[in-house]
Amino acid sequence: MKEKAGEIAGKIWVALNETEGLTAKQLKKATKVSAEKDLYLGLGWLLREDKVTVSEVEGELFIKLA
């Protein structure tokens, strides 16, 4: 599970590196991660390492690189 979290975190980082930030929905599509729980697994990894910031904008999570 730890390896999977790291792989997904890498996909998230690559997707965010090309933007000014994305909503969780946009990020899920950009990374082609099928399960929402997997997306949050990778986000948790990046949050723990202070690589991303997450805020709520109009009821949706907005994620960008820290």
Model confidence, pTM:
0.91
Domain tally, the chain: 1
The range of the structural domain enclosing residue 20 comes to 2-65
Q: What tens digit of pLDDT does each residue of 12-46 get?
A: 999 999 899 999 999 999 999 989 999 999 999 99
Q: Which amino acid is at 30?
A: A
Please tell me the predicted confidence (pLDDT) of residue 2. Answer: 84
Please tell me the predicted confidence (pLDDT) of residue 1. Answer: 83
Please tell me the predicted confidence (pLDDT) of residue 20. Answer: 95
CATH for 30: 1.10.10.10
**DSSP for the chain?**
-HHHHHHHHHHHHHHHHTSS-EEHHHHHHHHT---HHHHHHHHHHHHHTT-EEEEEETTEEEEEE-
